[in-house]
Structure formats: C-alpha cells, structure tokens
Amino acid sequence: MIGRAVRLRWGSATDVGQLRSVNQDSMLVGPGIFVVADGMGGHQGGEVASALAIETVSDRSFGPDVGELVTAVEDANETVFERSTQDPSLSGMGTTFVGIAIVEVDGEERLGIVNVGDSRAYQLTGGQLHQITDDHSLVGELVRDGRLSREDARTHPQKNIVTRAVGIDERVEVDDFVVIPYTGDRYLLCSDGLTDEVEERDIAVVLRTIEDPDEAARELVRRANEHGGRDNITIVIVDVVDAGGVAPPVPDADDFSESDDDTQTFLAVPDDRAHEQGSPASAQRSDDELNDLLDGARDHSEPKPQRAVTVRSVAFVVVVLGLLGAGAYLVNDYARNTYHVIIDDSGEVSIYRGRAGGVLWFDPSLEERTGIEAADVPATFRDRLTDGVNQADRPAAERYVANLEDRIEALAPPVTTTTSSTTAPTTTTQPG
C-alpha cells in the first residue's frame, strides 16, 4: 500500500472455558485486521451474532481509512440486527466487537482501533500494560465516574451488563481511534472471559515474558481456565515487528509518571505518545477531545443521542443512563443510606438496608429479621409493610419495629389458638 509498510506478527487462542458448553466468542486473525467478538443471546444467538459480525467485516473490503473501519462495524451491526429480526429464535442476539486494523493517516500506516461492548484492547509498551478501550458496560460507567474501583468492578454482580453491543439495535455507536505503531509494542484483544479471571498484572507478566504470540495466547487461556474459566476465553495478540520507519518514542518525565502508576492503566490515553510526539495523528486530537474519548459513552451520546441498549436487561440500563446524567452520586447515597421495614418472602417482618424495591442495581440487603410473623401484623400496617416502609436510617427503622411490636402486643388476645401455624406466638412469648 505504501512504501514503508508496518510489519506485524500475531497469535491467537480461543477456548470454551470450564463451565459453558458452547463457545460464543469469535475472532478474526490477520493479516490486516484483527477482531475479537463475544456473542450474547440465548439458544444459538450468541454464536451466530459474533460469527456473523466477523464474517461481515472480513467479507467487506474496506479502505485504509479508520472511518471505513467504523463503517464496516456499522455494516456488521446491520447484518446481525436484520438476522435477529428475521429469525425469532435469534431475537435479541448481539455481540461485542473490538478490532485493530492497519489504516492510513496522511500517508503513514497507523493502527486503527474500534470498539463496541466490554471486550478489550490493551497495549503493552515499555513493559507497561494499558487498557486502551473503554468498557461499554454498567460497571465501566461507574469506574469512569469514580463510583467504583477498577478492582471491585471485576467482581461486581452486574459486571456482565453491557451498555452497547453490535446487532441489538438498528444503529450502533462505535468508538474509534488511531495509535502509532512502534517496533516492539504488543497489542492484546480479549473477551471478558480473560479479564474476569486473570488480573491485569498477571496478564502483563505473560505478555512480557512469552515472546511467541501464539504461545502467549495459549498461556493466557490456560490461566483463565485455571482461575475458573467461567466464560468463553478468546485472545488475539498482535506484535509490531517493524514500525515501517516510525522513529521510536522519546520518553519524557510525563510518560514515566503516568506509566508507573498502576491505577492509571484504565485511563491510558490511546495515543498519548503520538500526542507527545507532535505527529500528524496527535494533531488531530486536542486534550479536550481526548478527555471526551476517555469519558466514554455518555459524552459521545450527547451530540448524537442514541437509544441506550443492553443485552441482558434493557429497561434497567435505560433507567441507569438517565440517572447517571441526573447525578449518580446522589442516587448512590439515596439507594444505600436508607433502610426499610418489610414483610419479605420469608413471611417475617424484616429490616433491609436500601430503598424498598431497590434503586437501580442497588438491591436491598437484609439487616435483621425481627421475629414478627406476617400473620401477627395488624391489618392497618399490613399493606404498607407488604410494599415496604422506608426509613431514614437504621435507628428509625428499629423505632418503627418497636412501635409495631407495641401495637401487636396491645391488640393481642390473652390466648392465641391457631391451628394453621406452629410458630405464631405473639412477640411477648419469644420461642426458645
């Protein structure tokens, strides 16, 4: 294509994992484009979605421009979406899509990166591993908002809820950016079956120490399986063997201060070195634009509103995104620092932390069972307690229960004769 071509070397591995019966991940491995797609959807939906997306991209001849790479992903979106509307058994299927391809910017070869969903692209440079894509997931949003630590995000119960995917709506919003290839840099594309099981520091160790990309990919799969292998695992590793005439970067103080800090990995600027080099690619993106890029889905969606989507829980994320705009901070406090008293599924009056019915992803947690059976609750309290009565704090909830006990005691007949229940004493005769 151009005189001083970038030379790449690559390797890959994919595995069903230890628990799943089918591998719904798909991958596309070279020569000019590399993709990992993690399919989602019941029956065969996930497999079909990821395979179809990759087929669409590989069949399509796209030019060297990153815009055409984005168009290819949009075409994949259309293909998957159309198939899902035609075949009811595939309804709702979708897939993540993270890809790297050689693109051309001002006559120079660069690496274009596109991303939709929570599969990831990492860059290993100077021994440091940086995630260079944003996760389009609920927990990804929380991490970017500073509401959740990166470590807690790995084990969060809602970590699998994605906020963007290919094929679940007519339109898709694709993140794209360009990085300068430097000789010796290594790129990793992976599905969450790796990152949910293996810590980033361990991923970095493997990428640093195993030179052969195929071997490194297999070792990462092995480690993910060793840690549980609860999901399909797919790895594509791309090494820049020859940057095609791009001079190696000149590190400066800024470069070191950032890369030495592990907590900065999530905020790694995709083409930060390009920026420092003052190259053509860096000139395209101001600091503000970079910040926008790092801010992720919400900021992107402002100028170009797009329906929020989720594979596993549509209504859920629609509500969440709306509220993120309204102030996730307040919502969090509101949801957590409230208590409620309720007759729960156990049939017993209980105190829960959190709002009755829950708020967003903050499910109420049980604090105390009071020993008061539903059958003993006076009719005037019963309706409200069935729905749950919110109280400002724990002492208030306890006062409410004490008041309820007083009322029950006042109403209790001197002798209870029930045949239907063996555990229905009044509160004045605690069992045991």
Q: Measured from the CB atom, is 56 or 234 closer to Mn ion?
A: 234
Tokens of 85: 């509307």
Provide, rounded to whole angstroms, the least separation between the CB of residue 231 and Mn ion.
Answer: 4
- Check binding of 15 to Mn ion (CB under 5 A): no
Provide, rounded to whole angstroms, the least separation between the CB of residue 193 and Mn ion.
Answer: 5
- Check binding of 173 to Mn ion (CB under 5 A): no
**Region near Mn ion per CB under 5 A, out of 31-39, 108-116, 134-142, 376-384:** 31-39
- Check binding of 197 to Mn ion (CB under 5 A): no
Provide, rounded to whole angstroms, the least separation between the CB of residue 40 and Mn ion.
Answer: 8
Provide, rounded to whole angstroms, the least separation between the CB of residue 22 and Mn ion.
Answer: 12
Give the Cα separation of 312 and 319 in Å (integer). Answer: 14
Provide, rounded to whole angstroms, the least separation between the CB of residue 24 and Mn ion.
Answer: 7
Q: Measured from the CB atom, is 96 or 125 closer to Mn ion?
A: 96
Q: Measured from the CB atom, is 100 or 194 closer to Mn ion?
A: 194
Place of tokens 């959807």: 41
In the range 47-86, which residues lie near Mn ion by CB under 5 A?
none
**Region near Mn ion per CB under 5 A, out of 100-108, 138-146, 225-233, 376-384:** 225-233
- Check binding of 196 to Mn ion (CB under 5 A): no
Q: Measured from the CB atom, is 39 or 244 closer to Mn ion?
A: 39
- Check binding of 38 to Mn ion (CB under 5 A): yes
Count of positions on this chain that bind Mn ion (CB under 5 A): 5
Q: Measured from the CB atom, is 233 or 389 closer to Mn ion?
A: 233
Give the Cα separation of 157 and 104 in Å (integer). Answer: 41
- Check binding of 192 to Mn ion (CB under 5 A): yes
User: Which residues, at least 6 apart from 413, have a Cβ–Cβ distance to it below 8 Å?
Assistant: none
Q: Measured from the CB atom, is 175 or 192 closer to Mn ion?
A: 192
Exactly one of 109, 175, 185, 231 binds Mn ion (CB under 5 A); which one?
231
Provide, rounded to whole angstroms, the least separation between the CB of residue 207 and Mn ion.
Answer: 20
**Region near Mn ion per CB under 5 A, out of 29-37, 183-191, 300-308, 374-382:** 183-191
**Region near Mn ion per CB under 5 A, out of 146-154, 192-200, 253-261, 294-302:** 192-200
Provide, rounded to whole angstroms, the least separation between the CB of residue 96 and Mn ion.
Answer: 8
- Cα distances from 308 to residues 83, 153, 167, 168, 317, in angstroms, run 21, 21, 13, 10, 7
Provide, rounded to whole angstroms, the least separation between the CB of residue 98 and Mn ion.
Answer: 12
- Check binding of 108 to Mn ion (CB under 5 A): no
- Of 273, 239, 275, 237, nearest to 256 (Cα)? 273
**Region near Mn ion per CB under 5 A, out of 34-42, 213-221, 316-324, 391-399:** 34-42
Q: Measured from the CB atom, is 138 or 343 closer to Mn ion?
A: 138
Provide, rounded to whole angstroms, the least separation between the CB of residue 27 and Mn ion.
Answer: 13
Q: Measured from the CB atom, is 38 or 272 closer to Mn ion?
A: 38
**Region near Mn ion per CB under 5 A, out of 62-70, 81-89, 185-193, 351-359:** 185-193
Packing angle of the helix pair 394-411, 379-387 (nearest 10 deg):
150
**Region near Mn ion per CB under 5 A, out of 33-41, 48-56, 360-368, 413-421:** 33-41
Q: Measured from the CB atom, is 40 or 69 closer to Mn ion?
A: 40
Tokens of 121: 């692209």
Q: Measured from the CB atom, is 94 or 193 closer to Mn ion?
A: 193
Q: Measured from the CB atom, is 192 or 272 closer to Mn ion?
A: 192
- Cα distances from 262 to residues 125, 184, 267, in angstroms, run 14, 21, 10
Provide, rounded to whole angstroms, the least separation between the CB of residue 220 and Mn ion.
Answer: 14
Residues in touch with Mn ion (CB under 5 A): 38, 191-193, 231
